[in-house]
Amino acid sequence: MSTPYYVPETSVPLPPPEADVIATACDYCVVACGYKVYRWKVAGGRVGGPRAEENAFGEDFPVNPLGAWVAPNMHNIVLHNGEPHHIVIIPDKDTEFVNYTGNSSIRGGALAQKVYNPQTPTRDRLQQPMVRMFGVLMPVTWDFALDIAAEVGNYVLEKHGTNAYGVKTFSYGYMENTYAITKYALRHVRTANFTFHDTPSDVTSTPGFRDAGFDNFGPSYDDWADAETLLMCGTDPYESKTILYTDYIMPAILGGQKAIFLLPRKTAGVAFAEKNGGLCLDIQPGTDLPVVLAIARVIVENGWEDTEWIQNWVNNKWESSSGFGQGTRNTPWQWRTTWGQFQTAGFEDWKAWLLAQDYAIPENAAELAQIDVQKIYTAAEWMAKPRADGSRPKTSVMIEKGFYWSNNTGNTQAISALGITVGAGGRPGQVIGRAGGHQRGGLRGGGYPRNKSPEKLPGRRRRAMDTDRYLMSGHTRLAHVIGTTWVQAMCGSQSLQAKFDELTTRNPHQVDSFEKEDIIATLKKRVDSGGMVVWNQDIYLVDPIGARYADIVFPASGWGEDTFTRANGERRLRLYPKFYDAPGEAKPDWWIIANLAKRMGFEGFDWENSNQVLEEGARHSRGSRKDFNMVLVKARQEGKTLHEKFAEFGTNGIQGPVLMDGDGNLVETKRLHDVARVLPAEGPQGRNVFNKKLTHFNSQTGKCNIQKAPWSLFSSYWEWLKPREDEIWISSGRINERWQSGYDDRRRPYIVQRWPENWIELHPTVAEARGIESGDYVQVYSDRIPVQKDTIVGVEGSDFDFASLLRNGHIELTRASITAVAIVTPAVKENLGYMDFLHTAQPANALAGRVVDWISGNYNYKMGVGKVRKMGESPYKHNFRSMSFARRDIA
C-alpha cells in the first residue's frame, strides 16, 4: 500500500513529436471519458520541449486553461515489448463526445498511476499463478494451477452438482472477459450459483424501470443537459460521474436548468445547484418513496400531468393485461405484476390509488422524511406546472444507487410512475434513466438457469439464487471469484466473513504437500466434508478473499494490458487498446477462463486473442442496448477485424444499438425509446435487429406500465430498522476521489494522502452529544444487524415480508463493528452517518442488513443503523500531511 505522505513533483517530461499516440477511454466511472496515451522510449533520453514543434501536442508551454497540461500524476514508465517506455495519459483534447472539452475527473486524471511500475506502489500486482501449500500462496506455473483447478472443478460438478460450483464475477470488466466468463459459467457449467459483484442474485437492478418499460441507460448525455428541470435521486453526479455534471449539468444549471436533488447528504454538485437556485430534498434514508409519491400527488391534484403523453404512451386496462396470464408466468417482469400489488388498469386507476395513500399526502411524507414540506410543492411545480402559454417544462429524471439501493422495488416503481406523469422518457431533454456507476462491459455468453434456483416465492415464481445465503447454508463447495472483493462488498459482511472462515481456513483439510495429486486429493476431501475451495482471479491480492481464502490465485491483466471493448452510460462503445506489457505471467480473464474450460473438457474456447472472443460474442449483443453486431458485419465487408473497426472510431466511439442502413452505413442510436425516431419502413434487413425499445418502451405493448408502489411492502423493515435510542442511520456510497474498493487508489500516494482510511461524516449535533471532533477515531457498531438466514418456500403473499420473516424466526440479529475517522459536517442529515462504501479493512457494509428486497432479490445497501462512540484521536487530527476536515459542500 502507498505511504500517506506524498511529495509532489515540480517537473514532468513532455512527449516528443514522434511519440506513439493511442486513443482509449478511462477505466473508471460510467462516463468513460476519452483519453490519449503518449508513449515513447526511455532509451536515448529523448523528451519533448516547450515549443509547439518540440512536443507531441503541438502546443507551446505554458498551455492555456483546459490545455494539454501534463500533471506529474499523468506520467509513468512502463514496459512495452519488453523495453522501458515513458507514457503520458491525458484526456483527449480532440474528442467530440463525452468529455468534449478535453476535461477529466481526478480519477481519470490519475490513470497513469494505475499502470504497473515496480518503482511505485503498484509493485504488488499479481504476477504468477499461486497455489496455497502449507498455508502459503506459492508461485507456480499456469499448467500446475490450471490442472488442479480443472480436476477439482469437474469433481465438484460431478459429485455435488452444478449449483455447488459458484461463480461470483465482475459484470463490467470488458465484453471480451464477461462473454468468456458467462459462456463458461452459464452455458457450460450451467450453474444457478452465479451472480455479479454488486448483488447476491443475478436480478435486475431497477425492477420498477423494468416493469414500466424503461431501459436503465436510454438517455443520451445531451438529454440531461437539455432538460429544463432535472430531478436527481440518490446521487450527486459531480461526485462519481464527474464529467456528466461538469460538462453537461453544470452548464445547464448556469443556463437556467432547475436542478432538484433527493439526497440525505450534500456535496459540491448539490451546493453549486443550490447556490444557483436549485433544490435539495434532504430526506432521511429510506423515505424516498413517500416523497416521490407526494410530488406526484401534488401534480395530479393540480392537473399538471402530461395528459397527451399519458394518452399516447401509457397502457390502459386491457393493454396492461395483454401478454400476462399466458405461459409460465415465470419471468420476473411477469410475476411481479401478478402480486396484485403493482399492476393498475391505467393512469386513472393509478391516480385513484395514489390519492388513497395517506403517506403520500405531502405533509405526511415530509414528516416521514423530515424535510420542509414546501420543497415537495416546489419540486412538483418545477417538474410539471405548465407555463402561462400552456407549454410544459422539459423534465428528466435520473436515479442512482442511493435511491434504488434504499427501497429497491418500491423506489423504482414510484419514480417510474412520477416520470410517466411528467412525460419523461424518449424525447430530447425529457428522459428517465440511471446515471450509472461502473461502465457497461457485460456481454452474456449464456442464459441464467433460473429453474435451477431454490428461491421459490409465493405463486409460480422462481427468482435467481441468493448466492450469499446459499453459501451461508454450506451448499457452495467451490467459489470461483473473478475480479471482485465479494465479502466486504455484500451486506452484513462480518457474519458472511465468519462463514467463509469456517468453510475454508477452519476446515481440517488443508494442503500440506507440494505434490499435485496430494493437493487435488486434499481439496476434494475438503469439498466432500462440507467445506469450500476458492479460486480467485484478480489483479491484486485482496484481503480476505484472495489473501486468506483462495486455494488458487490466477493473476489477471487489465486496462491497457490487452485490447478490450466496453460501452459507457450513453451506450457509446469504444476500444481500449493494449499499450503496454502486463506484469509477469498475468493473463486476461478470457484467457484464464478459456484455458480452464478446455482442461475441463468444454468445447468452444479455442480463442487466440481478445478480438476472436468479441467476434464470437457479437451476435449475443443483438437486440441489447449496446448491439454492435452490425459493426462486425461492416468490419467483415471491409476485410477488417472487429477490433480494427472499433479502433477507427477512436475516442468518439459508436453509440449503440448500431444499425445498418440500406446503403450499408452504420447508424447510431442517440437515445432509446426515441418516440420521434423513424426506422426504415421495410423493416430489418439481413442481420439488423430493430428492437422494440428503439422507438417504444420495453414492455408487452411498447407503452409504459404505470404501476403502484405501496409503502407497506417496505415499511415493516423501515420501521423496525430506523434508529432507536442513540442509534443513527449508517449509510455509505462513493466518494469522488476513490474508485470501487480503492484497488488503484490505495496505490496512489496522492489519493492516499487525502483518504488514508475510511471515515464517517457526522452532523455536529450527533458529534457534540458524543464528544466527537473531526479527526477522532470512532467505532461504528451495532448488535442488531438483521440477517435472513433461511431459504424458505413462499406460499402466502406476505411470507417474505420482513415482519413475517422476523416472526417466523428466519431473521438472525448479528453484531458488527468497524472503525472510522470522524468528519464533523452539517452536510449530512442530522441523524445520518455517511461512509465510503468499500474500504476492505473498514467495510461500511458490515452495518447494512443482509435482508434482500423481497420482491427483487437485491440488497438495500444504503440502509444501515448503528451507534457511534469515540475511541480517541487519529493521527490525522493534528497532522497537516494527510486528510482534510474542511467541508466538501463549499459553493
By the criterion CB under 8 A, which residues form the site for another protein? Answer: 3, 5-14, 50, 61-67, 69-74, 103-106, 109-110, 119, 238, 242, 246, 250, 267-269, 272, 736-737, 750, 753-754, 878-884, 886-891
Q: Which is nearer to another protein, 92 or 468 (CB)?
A: 92
CB 659 within 8 A of CB 672: no
The CB-based long-range contact list for 371-377 (8 Å cut-off, 24+ gap) reads: 371/281, 371/282, 371/283, 371/291, 375/279, 375/280, 375/281, 376/281, 376/291, 376/294, 376/295, 376/298, 377/298
For 30-63, b/e burial (b = at least 16 CB within 10 A) is bbbbbbbbbbbbeeeeebbeeeeebbbbebebee
Q: Which is nearer to another protein, 133 or 250 (CB)?
A: 250
Q: Which is nearer to another protein, 93 or 598 (CB)?
A: 93
E strand intervals along 693-762: 728-733, 759-762
* Closest approach of another protein to the CB of residue 64, in Å: 7
**Hunting for cell 502459503 — which residue is that?**
136
For 572-586, b/e burial (b = at least 16 CB within 10 A) is bbbbbbbbbbbbeeb
* Closest approach of another protein to the CB of residue 11, in Å: 4
Q: Which is nearer to another protein, 123 or 869 (CB)?
A: 123
* Closest approach of another protein to the CB of residue 9, in Å: 5
Cα separation, 273 vs 124, in Å, equals 42
CB 288 within 8 A of CB 414: yes
* Closest approach of another protein to the CB of residue 77, in Å: 9
* Closest approach of another protein to the CB of residue 6, in Å: 8
* Closest approach of another protein to the CB of residue 217, in Å: 24
Of the candidates 392, 385, 383, the one whose C-alpha atom is nearest the C-alpha of residue 415 is 383
Q: Which is nearer to another protein, 75 or 132 (CB)?
A: 75
Q: Which is nearer to another protein, 39 or 475 (CB)?
A: 39
* Size of the chain in residues: 891
* Closest approach of another protein to the CB of residue 78, in Å: 14
Cα separation, 228 vs 255, in Å, equals 9
* Closest approach of another protein to the CB of residue 394, in Å: 25
* Closest approach of another protein to the CB of residue 7, in Å: 6
Q: Which is nearer to another protein, 9 or 726 (CB)?
A: 9
Of the candidates 645, 666, 665, 669, the one whose C-alpha atom is nearest the C-alpha of residue 657 is 669
CB 50 within 8 A of CB 13: no
Spatial neighbors of 506 by CB under 8 A, at least 6 apart, are none
Task: Establish how many alpha carbons lie within 13 A of residue 345's alpha carbon, considering only the half-sphere containing its beta carbon.
Answer: 6
Q: Which three cell numbers stand for residue 689?
A: 435487429
* Closest approach of another protein to the CB of residue 120, in Å: 8
Q: Which is nearer to another protein, 13 or 166 (CB)?
A: 13
* Closest approach of another protein to the CB of residue 877, in Å: 10
Q: Which is nearer to another protein, 13 or 857 (CB)?
A: 13
Q: Which is nearer to another protein, 242 or 557 (CB)?
A: 242
* Closest approach of another protein to the CB of residue 26, in Å: 13
Instruction: For 93, list phi and psi in degrees, rounded to 5.
Output: -80, -10
Question: Residue 343 CA to chain centroid, in angstroms?
Answer: 29
Cα separation, 139 vs 690, in Å, equals 50
Cα separation, 5 vs 834, in Å, equals 25
* Closest approach of another protein to the CB of residue 245, in Å: 9
Q: How far is CA 826 from CA 267, 296, 722, 778, 871, in A?
A: 11, 29, 21, 18, 22
Q: Which is nearer to another protein, 100 or 339 (CB)?
A: 100
Q: Which is nearer to another protein, 91 or 218 (CB)?
A: 91
* Closest approach of another protein to the CB of residue 713, in Å: 37
Q: Which is nearer to another protein, 646 or 834 (CB)?
A: 834
H runs (alpha helix) in 127-212: 142-160, 175-182, 207-212
Spatial neighbors of 588 by CB under 8 A, at least 6 apart, are 176, 177, 556, 557, 561, 562, 564, 582, 610
Q: What is the CA radius of gyration of the chain?
A: 27
Q: Which is nearer to another protein, 212 or 230 (CB)?
A: 230
User: C-alpha angle with apex 797: 794 to 799, nearest 5 degrees?
Assistant: 50
CB 545 within 8 A of CB 556: no
CB 36 within 8 A of CB 92: yes
